[in-house]
Structure 1
Amino acid sequence: MTRSKRSGMEFCCCYLPLVNVGAYLLVLETALVALAVGICALVPPSIVAGEGVIPSWSKGLIGALGFITLAWQLLGLVSVARQMPTLYRTYIRVNFVLTLAVIVAAVAFLVVAGVQHNKAVTTCVATYGVIPSNSNAASSISVSSLGQDADAFSQSGRQICNIFVWAQTGVMGGLIVLMGLTQFYMLAAQRAYGGEQRQAFRDSKASYQDIPMNPRDSGVWEPRANDPYAPHQPTYGNGGGYDSYAAPHGDQYAHKPY
């Protein structure tokens, strides 16, 4: 268990490769959220708080961004599975842009709905309001009483729509805030994992380069002065060169003929 000094987050590892369970879960969580965004944008009918206020093409825009983000997670899975730090960095950068685009678009449409709240309430009353019909004119109810009842129903319907539209706007705002905080945390975790992945890759390259692979005739293999098996005086062979493998001084079998 190691702790990153840069991010303060803990990661389990076994040197190389890193244990990638958490990295896979981050990618899968982002994919599930993107899928939910795309489905919720296209499948359900228009919400009351946005009828007559939010443009009709907004559903297609949010849905397209959600499914593009979903497809982009395939690159994240590949970069984690194959331990490709450069590709993973590209993945998290584009993933941040896509996530930010979804959140910004959702916030923009929410602001439009909030600013034109009265128009949304009027559309709600016109669409779902119940106003008694004048077809019962033959009854004992007078025309004036019908008008009063219609006004009462209209006022009650407007109050109901007003509460309903505010409630939907608040729920949408809460969901956007929750999704934004969750996904930005996931992006921060992905960024921290990417830093650990690149650091491990650099450490692995450095560790391989630190292994001395010098040839045997280099100075690394020369006997040291304090080596008890090193000769005290240089000896020269038939070729006149220095023999570093001559028998040490005091060896009773060093120069004794056989």
Structure 2
Amino acid sequence: MLDPVFIISLLILGVASGLLAGLLGIGGGMLLVPFLTFLMVGQGVPVENVVHSSIATSLAIILFTSISSMRAHHKAGAVRWDIVKFLTPGILLGGFIGSKIVSYLPTRELALVFGVFVLFSAYQMFADKKPKPTRTLPKAAGLTGVGTVIGTVSSIVGAGGGFISVPFMVWSNVPLRIAVATSAALGFPIALFASIGYVINGLHLEGMPTGSLGYVYLPAVLCVAIMSVFFAPKGAKLAHTLPVKKIKRIFAILLTLIALSMIYKAATGF
């Protein structure tokens, strides 16, 4: 029997992650993983597996959120499908690679890795550096290589890849709103193949609570996804009306606080 407070917390988390996924094209993983880690310790997930399980569960949630966010951005005509086409093969490969790497990382080290990447993402949002006017996206082979990096890192930290893909596209002179929309579309292949990897690599686990499929904790997926799918289109609508740069800086503050909290937890124990 799930704790009602746990369920309510997951529903609230779903609202926040859905809005942010639609608004910033980040998949919501940067918010999901730290909070899922704190919440799932109390649900019987072994401490040595809790960060792994949170990352896997986050990716499974992003499967649903990304579809909802992608549809909304597509209706607005903002998704660059040509970019998606060339990044996706590398993303699929990277998703499997990352999920395999994570299965060998201890919880504390994994939490530290996650915290560092969140801090990096926050810095990218704060910096807002302008690219050279002549810079463009690489050709097909280059985009596939970039996709492999995005897929690997996203799979390791449990995110939809927006914290890498959005800065990369903006650095390549893709307009910010187009980069956010395209990143939302990229979240699905990242989440799909990484989730499959986490299920396969976690089938041997013992001591996981009822409702677990490999590293994925299905009750959390259900509770969060119900709300995130509903609110992702609302976030996407805001992305086309609000000053996103200012919002990204506010969100960068949130990311910094989350990262520091995650690093502290890793240093002191869960």
TM-score by length of 2: 0.28
Higher helix share: 2
TM-score by length of 1: 0.29
Higher relative contact order (CA 8 A, sep 6+): 2
